[in-house]
Structure 1
Amino acid sequence: MRYDRTVHLDTDFATAVARTRDALAAQGFGILTEIDVTATLKAKLGHEMEDYVILGACNPPLARRALETDRSIGLLLPCNVVVRREGDHTAVQALDPNTMVALTEIDALRPVAEEATRRLDAALASLVAAGTGS
Structure 2
Amino acid sequence: MTYHFSKTVDMPFDAAVTAVTAALQKHGFGVLTQIDVKETLGKKIGVDFRPYLILGACNPKLAYEALTLEDKIGTMLPCNVVVQQHDPGVVEISAVDPVASMASIENPGLGAVAGKVRELLRQVVADVA
CA 120–82 in structure 1, closer or farther in 2 if over 3 Å, else same: same
Native 8 Å contact 1:7 1:93 kept in 2:
yes
Give the structure with the larger helix fraction.
Answer: 1
Q: What's 1:90 paired with?
A: 91
Q: What's 1:2 paired with?
A: 2
Q: What's 1:65 paired with?
A: 65
Q: Which aligned segments of 4 or more residues in structure 1 are displaced greater than 3 angstroms?
A: none
CA RMSD of superposed structures (Å): 1.4
Distance in 2 between the 1:99 and 1:105 partners?
A: 12
Distance in 2 between the 1:75 and 1:96 partners?
A: 15
Distance in 1 between the 2:83 and 2:7 partners?
A: 10
AA in 2 matched with 1:121: R
With structure 2 as the length reference, what TM-score do the two structures score?
0.92
AA in 2 matched with 1:81: V
CA 105–87 in structure 1, closer or farther in 2 if over 3 Å, else same: farther
Q: Identify the range of structure 1 (61-70 vs 83-92) with the bigger mean alpha-carbon deviation.
A: 83-92
Unmatched 5+ stretches in structure 1? none
Q: What's 1:50 paired with?
A: 50
Distance in 1 between the 2:25 and 2:114 partners?
A: 18
1:17 has 2:17 as partner? yes
Identical-residue share of aligned pairs (%): 41
Q: Identify the range of structure 1 (101-110 vs 7-16) with the bigger mean alpha-carbon deviation.
A: 101-110
Distance in 2 between the 1:100 and 1:45 partners?
A: 29
Distance in 2 between the 1:110 and 1:126 partners?
A: 24
1:106 has 2:107 as partner? yes
Using the TM superposition, give the Cα deviation of residue 32 of structure 1 relative to its aligned residue in structure 2, in angstroms.
Answer: 1.0
AA in 2 matched with 1:25: Q
